[in-house]
Structure 1
Amino acid sequence: MTSFHKHILNTPSELVVDSLKGLAYLNPSIALDEQHRVIYQRNQREGTVALISGGGSGHEPAHASFVGTGILSAAVAGSVFASPNISQIRRAINIVSSSPSNKGVLLVVKNYTGDVLHFGLASEQHRASSQGHKTDVRVVIVGDDVSVGRTQGGLRTRGNDISLQNCRGLAYSGATIDQVESLANMVANNVATFGVPGTKPGSSYLNADELELGMGIHNEPGHTRLRPYPPAKELVATMLESITSTIETDPERGFLSHGLKKDGKDEVVLLVNNLGAVSQLELGVIVKEAIAWLRNKKFIVKRVLSGTYMTSLNMPGYSLTILLLPRGGSPDSKIASATEILDLLDAPSDAPGWIWYSKNDLSHIDVSPAPPFEDLELEERGQVCIRPSNSGAFVAAIERAANALIAAEPEITKQDTIAGDGDAGLTLKAGAEGILRATKDQRIRGVNIISDLRVVSEVVDATMGGTSGALYSIYFSALTSALRRVTEASPETDYANLDVWASAAKEALKALYQYTLARPPSRTLIDPLAAFTLALQSPSSESFPHAVEEARKAAEQTRTLEARAGRGAYVNQQALTESRVPDPGAWGVWIILNALLVR
């Protein structure tokens, strides 16, 4: 995972306030106290407990984007990675407690020294002030990061988002401050988080292929380094093992031990949090692996939340949070049952940072694939048949071409990093590997060229993707159709000789021209393909080797051509011609044709 190194801002001193102003524009129901950097609800709900949280900026959407109906009454923003000061926090307390019917204020604080000290001192100063007798201010500290063992001082925090939503939901119901505080403490004692940020090359003490288990959201050291970066499945398993450990299995952690039974009846809520630079594509993999691990270990997954909740600017990494729901009859269930907690979690919120998720029990959801689709056309029932002159040589030639593309991947990738977007080599390799699987599985058998080329077209379409995948697939489909027409027009044609191939190739190129504007010389794969097809039309036993040579010349010529189509057209043309690299797509076509040639 990579990270964007440059930040978009006016000046560093204006960054936080500018961002808060932007947030206030997004949500008309909130307002900004610019001097104290406090975001708050314009209309505080009467007769309820108010919730305040906050901390250093740089963790957005936390905390300011959680201000809104159903979550926070106000949030206090410090400078980047720095706690807000006492006057800021006291201003937030005064704002949310201004209503005569206010039932108190609960400060939900992350377990970082600066936050704990400043929020704690602000609450103490408020109690000592003239307003202290009017508003009951309490503090709940959330420390859920199990990567920090007991001997290191216990829990840091990463994800107090679940705590916030549950507390605010209860507060909105008109509960007393005692009830809201009890719920907050109960949830905080049953939530555990583990994070694995990656690293931006050159900006950390970690190498680019390393990660540190449990590294904090301010780059605090974790407890174990891993190198190389493990697959998602292994990494997720390691994280969840730590989160769900018991005192017996891990004396340093086991923070959920008091309620965790591991008897197949533990009910949990899973939160997958993007620390800033993980793509949605990758986040989906993490969600899938986490649910698979939990199900395999017989946990009952009641809810899954996934998205960007608590970041560290644009840190490449993620965290997993587990909320263990109380069992019936347990001391915690007397504060709130599992059903009540889920109802509070599912309560609607208009806070822009709170991400939609399904309010359904996931324990019964099956995402297994649909039944396979049967393509009757591939069953060769009543199909026209045209044989290769030598079945074994035909399949061998296809495998040679595929292996040649795989071997050429580094070369083509290097070319494409200069002449395109860098993926041409891997795209061709993926198609080649798909073809080899098809020959191994006997889907390509060398019995009927028409059937085999149809399989080639479908495999290429399924495995390559992108523009080149589509062009190859169209070409092979058109080649298949052309061979069928030749066979139907001349039933006496039993096998494909050179004349049959030449005629079919000409028709296939003509069909391809309907879907691309590229014409030679264009610095695209069309150049060697057109040169090959034209040379193949000469009535000579040496026409195939000659045609391959013409394809090579056309591919070589792309080194000096200006790109008129394809990805190369978007690259600086002067730099492209000076680089003297051939077009990667054109080079790939020549690699294939050259491998087909038996010497």
Structure 2
Amino acid sequence: MIKSLEVDDSVILSLRGFVASHENLKLLKADRVVYRSSNPKKPYIAVIAGGGSGHEPLHAGFVGENLLTAAVAGDVFASPSTKQILNAIKLANKDKNCKGVLLVIKNYTGDVLHFGLASERARSLGINCKTVVIGEDVSVNSKFVGRRALAGTALAHKIISAFAATQGEKYGVEDAAAVGEIVNKNMITIGAALDHCKVPGRKFESSLKENQMELGLGIHNEPGVETLEPIPSVKDLIEKKMLARLFKEEGNDISFVDISPKDEVLLLVNNLGGLSNFAISSIVYTTLELLKKKYDIKPKIVLAGTYVTAFNSPGFSLTLLNLSNCNKSLKKEYGINSVSDLLTLETDAPGWSSFRIFKNVSEYEDILYSEKDYDLKGIETDDIAKLDKVGKIDYKQFSKILTSACESLKKAEPHITHLDSQVGDGDCGYTLVNGCNAILKNLPEWESEKLSFSEVLHKLSEVIEDSMGGTQGGLYSIFTSGCLAGVLENAKGSSDQPLNSELLAASLNHGLDILFKYTKARAGDSTMIDSLEPFVRTFNETKGDFSKAYKAAEDGMNVTSKSKAKFGRASYVGDSSESVADPGSVGIVEFLKGASKYI
């Protein structure tokens, strides 16, 4: 739908929808100004920001209690007009408790000109209005326009606004602007992205090749200062390219902010719009590790998430703020002990996320580097010690069968993965191989400990669940646990009974009955059950005839290529699941094929 909209339409519709979904916000539609529903009941300084649309949640997302008073939205990647900004200033100045208005401006030419002109006009009307310009990008430093504003803008908004909301009785607009300058001169940011973003209503354009990415790009689809080819690993990108520019290193003679191990530091990892939360969290950990390892810097405050975007840009930025320097200045000039006091001031602004403050070094070390999650004493017990030892195993034969079965399945992985890429999400083969590798890894230990069949089934259930994950891991783990219950039930209290075909058949049959309690899939539904059920039932009915059971499993697998899947992801793809054998069913047959060589 957005593709068919004019850009101007998409901006106002986005603002109207945003305000409609957040009760603390209102919209001045004619001027595209988002403002908060209520203001402080005591003297305060109004803080207004804005700029081109496309950076959400910046700017409107930071309107709220103890944050921005209002935000002015321009067209996509374009500054709002002077008229829009001036009307936002007038709106804020109407409140009797407002002592003045501070405009927080991102350092881009259009924003600086239009917000600056609006400030001048406001002052000519008798409104106490000042400006502060934010620009913290380390990748560019023009002697004419300075540094670009990036994700650090969100930090400036919060810190300045918290000061303006709480110190209005004591200080004025000039002081709020000075706080912004303190923050800005102690803040550095650099961004990186795999590609440019897609702007609504415009044709997507990019000069990047598939094996290239950009370092030091802006937030308006500007090219980066360096094209990286080939694309480095995340670790190398952060360490050798991004942190190297944030700190003064060889080949980089610019150091905007000095940061040493003794300094308290804030780290902001910002999603430029197109990365998953999964990826951002991984980037956070990698960055923290590298800061500690290479610079002996342990950030006191860590923020991560989507703060300042460039639509769906597949990239992120890193921002560092020297808290020690800020705290010294804030304490000296305004009696404020810590930036964290301003950051933690509660707000209902939709775009402001929660963050972590590390109280001390040991807490930081524990969270990042300790392998111990919590004390399991009194919770975790040696379950296997309580288990009846049933079914003596001939490990020489057992190892041959299991090893051959696993190797056969591993060899078939490319074929299984190909099938699953047509009817599923392509991970069936990899998941099965993970299970096989885990079994092969643990097999020597089971043999050395002379574990009984019941003990092996207990261990096997845990190994499968831990190594395979997902639906397959759950199903096989339940099946194995059911087999264990079958062994214990059919052993008739004898701990000396060896593992034989009769005991194995009863065990497998019981395992299948237990599995059917948790899945509605049956033979004929084009799933792994099409091979597993006929194998188990035939093996049990024939008192352990493996060749007949294997043939039944193979026949069941062949049926899956002639019917539509009724369960699992393959059921979502409609008729395209027909003519393709079920990957899980193929996996069972390949496993049994390998086992048959030593049975």
TM-score scaled by length of structure 1:
0.88
Query: Which residue does the alignment assign to 2:201?
Result: none
CA RMSD of aligned residues (A): 2.9
- The equivalences for 1:69-80 within 5 A come to 69-80=65-76
2:388/2:488 contact within 8 Å kept: no
Deviation of 1:381 after TM superposition, in Å, equals: 6.2
Of the candidates 472, 478, 483, which is equivalent to residue 476 of structure 2? 472
Are residues 1:56 and 2:61 paired? Answer: no
Could you give the per-residue CA deviations for residues 390-413 of structure 1, whole angstroms, max 9, x where no partner exists?
x13322432333333333333222
Deviation of 1:151 after TM superposition, in Å, equals: 8.3
Query: Which residue does the alignment assign to 2:155?
Result: 162
Could you give the per-residue CA deviations for residues 236-288 of structure 1, whole angstroms, max 9, x where no partner exists?
33466236413x6454431112xx2x2x3110112222222322222222222
Deviation of 1:304 after TM superposition, in Å, equals: 1.7
State the alpha-carbon separation in 1 of the partners of residues 421 and 361 from structure 2: 45
Query: Which residue does the alignment assign to 1:347?
Result: 345
The residue type equivalent to 2:464 in the other structure is V
State the alpha-carbon separation in 2 of the partners of residues 324 and 135 from structure 1: 34
- Which runs of 5 or more structure 2 residues have no equivalent in the other structure? 198-203
Are residues 1:245 and 2:251 paired? Answer: no
Deviation of 1:586 after TM superposition, in Å, equals: 0.8
Describe the shift of the 1:563–1:330 C-alpha distance in structure 2 as closer, same or farther (beyond 3 A).
Answer: closer
2:263/2:322 contact within 8 Å kept: yes
1:151/1:252 contact within 8 Å kept: no
Could you give the per-residue CA deviations for residues 160-196 of structure 1, whole angstroms, max 9, x where no partner exists?
1111111111112212122111110010011111222
State the alpha-carbon separation in 2 of the partners of residues 491 and 44 from structure 1: 77
Could you give the per-residue CA deviations for residues 54-91 of structure 1, whole angstroms, max 9, x where no partner exists?
11111111001111121111111011112212221222
Query: Which residue does the alignment assign to 2:518?
Result: 515
Of the candidates 432, 452, 458, which is equivalent to residue 454 of structure 1? 458
The residue type equivalent to 1:383 in the other structure is D
- The equivalences for 1:55-454 within 5 A come to 55-99=51-95, 102-127=98-123, 129=124, 131=125, 134-148=126-140, 154-159=146-151, 160-172=153-165, 173-174=167-168, 175-199=171-195, 204-227=206-229, 229-238=231-240, 241-242=243-244, 244-246=246-248, 249=250, 251-257=252-258, 260=259, 262=260, 264-296=261-293, 297-327=295-325, 334-335=332-333, 339-358=337-356, 361=359, 363-365=361-363, 366-367=366-367, 368=370, 369-371=373-375, 374-378=380-384, 380=385, 383-389=388-394, 391-439=395-443, 447-454=451-458
Deviation of 1:322 after TM superposition, in Å, equals: 1.2
Describe the shift of the 1:397–1:252 C-alpha distance in structure 2 as closer, same or farther (beyond 3 A).
Answer: farther
Q: Secondary structure at the match of 2:267?
A: strand
Describe the shift of the 1:382–1:561 C-alpha distance in structure 2 as closer, same or farther (beyond 3 A).
Answer: closer
State the alpha-carbon separation in 1 of the partners of residues 584 and 591 from structure 2: 11
Are residues 1:40 and 2:40 paired? Answer: no
2:193/2:214 contact within 8 Å kept: yes
Could you give the per-residue CA deviations for residues 99-121 of structure 1, whole angstroms, max 9, x where no partner exists?
46643322211122222222223
State the alpha-carbon separation in 1 of the partners of residues 522 and 327 from structure 2: 76
State the alpha-carbon separation in 1 of the partners of residues 207 and 436 from structure 2: 39
Describe the shift of the 1:291–1:440 C-alpha distance in structure 2 as closer, same or farther (beyond 3 A).
Answer: farther
Query: Which residue does the alignment assign to 2:576?
Result: 575
2:326/2:339 contact within 8 Å kept: no
Query: Which residue does the alignment assign to 1:3?
Result: none
- Which runs of 5 or more structure 1 residues have no equivalent in the other structure? 1-5
Deviation of 1:594 after TM superposition, in Å, equals: 1.2
Q: Secondary structure at the match of 2:266?
A: strand
1:326/1:333 contact within 8 Å kept: no
Count of aligned positions: 578
2:135/2:148 contact within 8 Å kept: yes
2:401/2:595 contact within 8 Å kept: yes
Deviation of 1:435 after TM superposition, in Å, equals: 2.2
Structure having the higher helix fraction is: 2
State the alpha-carbon separation in 1 of the partners of residues 543 and 458 from structure 2: 28
Of the candidates 563, 580, 591, which is equivalent to residue 561 of structure 1? 563
The residue type equivalent to 2:133 in the other structure is I
Deviation of 1:416 after TM superposition, in Å, equals: 1.8
Could you give the per-residue CA deviations for residues 374-426 of structure 1, whole angstroms, max 9, x where no partner exists?
54123x4673142333x133224323333333333332222122222333223
Q: Secondary structure at the match of 1:306?
A: strand
Could you give the per-residue CA deviations for residues 500-541 of structure 1, whole angstroms, max 9, x where no partner exists?
222222222222222222221121111111221233246588
Could you give the per-residue CA deviations for residues 117-156 of structure 1, whole angstroms, max 9, x where no partner exists?
22223323444x4x0xx22332222111223356897522
State the alpha-carbon separation in 2 of the partners of residues 333 and 177 from structure 1: 18
Describe the shift of the 1:54–1:329 C-alpha distance in structure 2 as closer, same or farther (beyond 3 A).
Answer: closer
- The equivalences for 1:5-16 within 5 A come to 7=2, 12-16=7-11
State the alpha-carbon separation in 1 of the partners of residues 196 and 105 from structure 2: 29
Describe the shift of the 1:381–1:355 C-alpha distance in structure 2 as closer, same or farther (beyond 3 A).
Answer: closer
Are residues 1:593 and 2:592 paired? Answer: yes
1:209/1:227 contact within 8 Å kept: yes
